[in-house]
Amino acid sequence: MTTNNSELRGMLLEEKARIEGQLAGVGHKNPDIAGDWEPSAPDLNDINADVNDVATEIEAFEGNAAIEVELEARLLEVDAALARIEVGTYGICRVCGSAIEDNRLHANPAAPTCIAHREG
Ligand SMILES: [Zn+2]
């Protein structure tokens, strides 16, 4: 394999740090499940809040929840790719077992499949 794993590992670690920073803006780590994040809930206990404020808060929460789910899914992919580097299976298509193209890995270092077996 000609892929430079240390470079790709660096890209993955950078992306992981970026995602965790973004997650911290919309949610917080689930104290009960390692690696799980939950969207930050709005404070709806403020008895002085009027109905419009509450509606806005709930909308913001729903937006955060959607972003949080997306970021968490991406973080799982990045973590899985880092784990594959550790065990030596990184850069191998999980469908056909051949080497994943370098340009694909540079475009998406977390890619688990070759271009032919790309999902979606
Ligand atoms: Zn493949």
pLDDT in tens, 96-105: 999 999 999 9
Q: How far away, in angstroms, is 34 Cα from ligand 1 center?
A: 31
> What pLDDT shows up at residue 33?
85
Q: Which residues contact 72 (CB under 8 A, 6 or more apart)?
A: 23, 36, 37
Q: How far is residue 7's CA from residue 48's CA, in Å, rounded to a whole number?
A: 53
Q: How far away, in angstroms, is 98 Cα from ligand 1 center?
A: 6
Q: How far away, in angstroms, is 118 Cα from ligand 1 center?
A: 8
Q: How far away, in angstroms, is 112 Cα from ligand 1 center?
A: 9
> What pLDDT shows up at residue 2?
45
Q: How far away, in angstroms, is 106 Cα from ligand 1 center?
A: 16
> What pLDDT shows up at residue 44?
64
Q: How far is residue 84's CA from residue 110's CA, in Å, rounded to a whole number?
A: 10
Segments of the chain scoring below 50 in pLDDT: 1-2
> What pLDDT shows up at residue 101?
96
Q: How far away, in angstroms, is 114 Cα from ligand 1 center?
A: 4
Q: How far away, in angstroms, is 87 Cα from ligand 1 center?
A: 19
> What pLDDT shows up at residue 39?
84
> What pLDDT shows up at residue 1?
45
**CA 28 to chain centroid:** 14
